[in-house]
Chain A
Amino acid sequence: MTTLDTLLPAPLDLDGYRVGTPQRAGALTMVPIHGPERPGIVPPRSGLKLKRVVGYGQVELHNGAREGVAIVPLHLGYIQDAAQNHALCSAALLAAGQTRRFDDACCVQSGQGGYLEGRDQWFFVLPLELRARALRLRGRHDYAKLWPDITQLNRAYGLPSRGHLEQILSRKRATLTQFQSRLELVPGQLGALFFVGGTFAGLELAPDAGYFAEMWMALVCFAYGVAAWHAEPERAAARPYDAGSLAELRAELARDRAARLAEVASWLPAPGGDVRMVEEERYLDLRLSTVTGDGLTGQVVAEHGRPVYASVFADR
């Protein structure tokens, strides 16, 4: 695994990005990505702020930085006690000092009253199982639009059939947040490939390592951790290597690891196919586009053909 060139459609140029050594936690495999940084983008936790919820399905975000455009991550959501939790259906570009209202946000906690406020900025990213659907529902003003899918997800995971995403995010939080430690952010890492149970789940790229570090928990614990938690395999007994000395053992370990690296590489989607990119918005030279087709979907922010931000995932 040395290149990502085939993962995003032309004319996006992924030259210069490198993948690192895979890490695994149960069913979740994460391959760190290093590459060229694009400084000056305002990150989601320290720069971007939830200002308020104006009405159900209407979320206001504010880029509080004095300079620098903020990239609102795709499927960003906020959770607060005694408030209807919300998630966005699309990524966005917010100029410095800009406040923007997203009227196509979705409530993710049916039956819960109250509006989110600017007091608590704890955020998540929608679980993989809901992301393709949420992306398709962007632009539709209906705060209850994701409830049927959340209900279905809960039912599939043996939880009460309700449109409450909080049943997973909050009540399973102790288990989900362990993915933050079970997988470890590599210094300088600005992206990752995620696989769940040997199947490609998503590609996440950030403008720089600081931005990605702020996304880390939301991605590994919630965007991809939920599916991995559900697919957690039983632990098998350790099989000894066929080695009669320390040197042989070291060689066997290296050989086995190489084989597993190759196996992870084989999980990547095949190149080609009918993948389309449609521009959604722009800010100066930054272009936010939606990618669809060939079992993948997501959004990408590019600048002069080079990706600055990407969240592209399996569309099952």
Chain B
Amino acid sequence: MDTPTLLTHFRTHDTPLVLSRGGDLAWDDAELHRAAQVSDPEGYALLALVPGVLPWQRARVLLTTLATSQNGLDDRTRATLAKVTRALMFGLPPGYTVTALLALRRLRANHKHTTRAIVAFVLEHPDAAALIEARRPALVDCFEHALGKATARGCARSIREGDTGSDRLRRSLLRFTSDPAVAIERVRALYAPGTYGAVAPQEAPAPLDPVREHPPVVTPTNRGDIAATLVHLFMGGPAAELRPALAGYVAEATRGLPRMAGGVALVLDTSGSMRGYGEREWALMSQATALRLVLAELCDRLTVIESGDAGAAPAGSTGVGGAAPGGATDLASGLLDALDGGPDLVVIVTDGYENVLPGDLARVVATLPRAGVTTPVVLCQATFTRGDDLTLRDPAPGLPRQPFWHQDDFAGLLPWMFGHCGPGRDWIRTTMTSRLEGART
């Protein structure tokens, strides 16, 4: 499974899963999903939990996971897949999940784990009452596909006649549910007369992505607690007060995250443009330093190569975890220095303004394959807001690039960068498994 490619696809390919009125299923990336699922069913499913993965991609992973047989998988893997399935079903807006479940009917997928999942969604969804009111025909189709039409209708008939726990009902339906009493009520509602005009719930009952901060006006100090504290430190604020708080914010941001076993070399742009000026002064440098501090907490081996004339710090620009920004940007030399140490991954953090000499980084990157270098190199681009104009700020178009402006971006940025190296892929697996266990949501 090509994790970086797949993750990029998951985060950028935003076309719906379409089920026509005739029941035809249309999705242009079916083969990509199928191949990834076959090569690593668990890793593929866990990747869908990474923050920032698009809802329609999560729906595809749900569909693929439920449509594929689990023959040959061990019990631990099956258990993980069941948890991912549940997280996706209840982590997506219900409309997305219903489409995926209806697609299963079209694909005639009727594995046992498929049945369990559909029954759980229809009968155990926290908003099941409203959902049944609004989407009754679709949910009946799903339910009857899961149990078989005759069995489903037989169960409904038994329930209507007062059956609450006969052997037949238990064998056909109740063994798939955790709360038989609730299930019986839901089946009764499912086969009751409909209500015209009922509005379906739109929100996911258990969203997968952390809640983001959306400041209406972006300033250097409303881009996350770590960066805000750093801005005050850089501006000469009281270190005795700010540094302990900074340590606390970094600990909070990394709490529950596993260590990354590989060696990471961070090429950190500490040039003058990273400091910025005017109302944006320190904004980029503070967020880049925040990322550096988080990486220092997570990585077993982190090497930092500063690129910029950091020796001469402007007044009041006390560096944290390194020198203060100043001077010009030589990212190409920084990359070569980073590769000398033989890391598992090189992360370049820059605003994208390469001025010594522009084009050098792109040429060095283009030469790496013929120089026998296979170490993955990624570029994390510090921006002031999500809407920065990056037209003139792409120093190496050949590098995988991901912008970040807020501390909230780290949740998606870390898996993206780590996914490019072997130890990082293990980190993603451990992190997402941990999320499933509830250690971190």
Which residues of A pack against B, CB within 8 Å? 21-26, 174, 178, 180-188, 217, 236, 238-241, 243-246, 248-250, 252-253, 256-257, 260
How far apart are the CA atoms of A59 and B427 in the complex, in Å? 65
Instruction: Please indicate the chain A residues that have their CB under 8 angstroms from the CB of B329 in the complex.
Output: 184
Residue of A nearest to B357 (CB): A24
CB-based contact A244/B370 at 8 Å:
yes
Q: Name B274-333 residues within 8 Å CB distance of A.
A: 276-277, 309, 311-314, 326-329, 332-333
CB-based contact A238/B398 at 8 Å:
yes
CB-based contact B366/A238 at 8 Å:
yes
Instruction: Please indicate the chain B residues that have their CB under 8 angstroms from the CB of A250 in the complex.
Output: 336
The size of the chain B interface, using a CB distance under 8 A, is: 43
Q: Which of A180, A181, A183 contacts B351 (CB 8 A)?
A: A181
Instruction: Please indicate the chain A residues that have their CB under 8 angstroms from the CB of B366 in the complex.
Output: 238-240
How far apart are the CA atoms of A303 and B384 in the complex, in Å? 44
CB-based contact A187/B360 at 8 Å:
no
CB-based contact A184/B272 at 8 Å:
yes
CB-based contact A243/B355 at 8 Å:
no
Give 5 new A-B contacts, CB below 8 A, not counting A184-B271, A253-B333.
A26-B358, A184-B353, A246-B371, A253-B332, A257-B360
**A-B CB proximity, top 9 nearest:** A187-B312, A238-B362, A181-B273, A184-B272, A23-B355, A240-B367, A240-B366, A238-B366, A241-B367
B387 close to A (CB within 8 Å)? no
Give chain A nearest CB distance to B335 CB in angstroms. Answer: 10
CB-based contact B356/A23 at 8 Å:
yes
Given the known inter-chain contacts A187-B311, A188-B312, A243-B370, please indicate yes or no for A24 contacting B351, CB distance below 8 A: no
25 A-B pairs with C-beta separation under 8 A: A23-B328, A24-B355, A25-B355, A25-B392, A174-B389, A180-B277, A181-B353, A186-B272, A186-B309, A186-B326, A186-B328, A187-B314, A188-B312, A238-B366, A238-B396, A240-B363, A243-B370, A243-B371, A244-B370, A246-B336, A249-B367, A249-B371, A252-B367, A253-B360, A253-B363
CB-based contact A25/B358 at 8 Å:
yes
B340 close to A (CB within 8 Å)? yes
Instruction: Please indicate the chain B residues that have their CB under 8 angstroms from the CB of A22 in the complex.
Output: 356-357
Given the known inter-chain contacts A23-B328, A187-B312, please indicate yes or no for A246 contacting B340, CB distance below 8 A: yes
CB-based contact B372/A245 at 8 Å:
yes
CB-based contact B392/A243 at 8 Å:
no
Q: Which of A182, A236, A244 contacts B353 (CB 8 A)?
A: A182
Instruction: Please indicate the chain B residues that have their CB under 8 angstroms from the CB of A238 in the complex.
Output: 359, 362-363, 365-366, 396-398
Residue of A nearest to B373 (CB): A246
Interface centre among A178, A187, A245 (most CB of B within 10 A): A187
Instruction: Please indicate the chain A residues that have their CB under 8 angstroms from the CB of B368 in the complex.
Output: 249
Q: Name B346-399 residues within 8 Å CB distance of A.
A: 351, 353, 355-360, 362-368, 370-373, 389, 392, 396-398
Q: How many pairs of A and B residues are in contact by the CB < 8 Å rule?
A: 106
B253 close to A (CB within 8 Å)? no
How far apart are the CA atoms of A21 and B314 in the complex, in Å? 20
B339 close to A (CB within 8 Å)? yes
CB-based contact A184/B363 at 8 Å:
no
Give chain A nearest CB distance to B339 CB in angstroms. Answer: 6
Instruction: Please indicate the chain A residues that have their CB under 8 angstroms from the CB of B326 in the complex.
Output: 186-187
Instruction: Please indicate the chain A residues that have their CB under 8 angstroms from the CB of B389 in the complex.
Output: 174
Give chain B nearest CB distance to A287 CB in angstroms. Answer: 32
CB-based contact A239/B363 at 8 Å:
yes
Given the known inter-chain contacts A178-B392, A246-B340, please indicate yes or no for A186 contacting B327, CB distance below 8 A: yes
Instruction: Please indicate the chain A residues that have their CB under 8 angstroms from the CB of B327 in the complex.
Output: 184-187
Instruction: Please indicate the chain B residues that have their CB under 8 angstroms from the CB of A245 in the complex.
Output: 371-372
Give chain B nearest CB distance to A212 CB in angstroms. Answer: 13
Residue of A nearest to B272 (CB): A184
Give chain A nearest CB distance to B117 CB in angstroms. Answer: 48
Instruction: Please indicate the chain A residues that have their CB under 8 angstroms from the CB of B340 in the complex.
Output: 246
Instruction: Please indicate the chain B residues that have their CB under 8 angstroms from the CB of A184 in the complex.
Output: 271-273, 327-329, 353, 355
How far apart are the CA atoms of A244 and B329 in the complex, in Å? 26
Instruction: Please indicate the chain A residues that have their CB under 8 angstroms from the CB of B359 in the complex.
Output: 236, 238
Instruction: Please indicate the chain A residues that have their CB under 8 angstroms from the CB of B398 in the complex.
Output: 238
Give chain A nearest CB distance to B366 CB in angstroms. Answer: 4
Instruction: Please indicate the chain A residues that have their CB under 8 angstroms from the CB of B351 in the complex.
Output: 181
Interface centre among A181, A236, A243, A253 (most CB of B within 10 A): A181
How far apart are the CA atoms of A183 and B397 in the complex, in Å? 20
Instruction: Please indicate the chain A residues that have their CB under 8 angstroms from the CB of B372 in the complex.
Output: 244-246
CB-based contact A187/B355 at 8 Å:
no
Instruction: Please indicate the chain B residues that have their CB under 8 angstroms from the CB of A185 in the complex.
Output: 272, 327
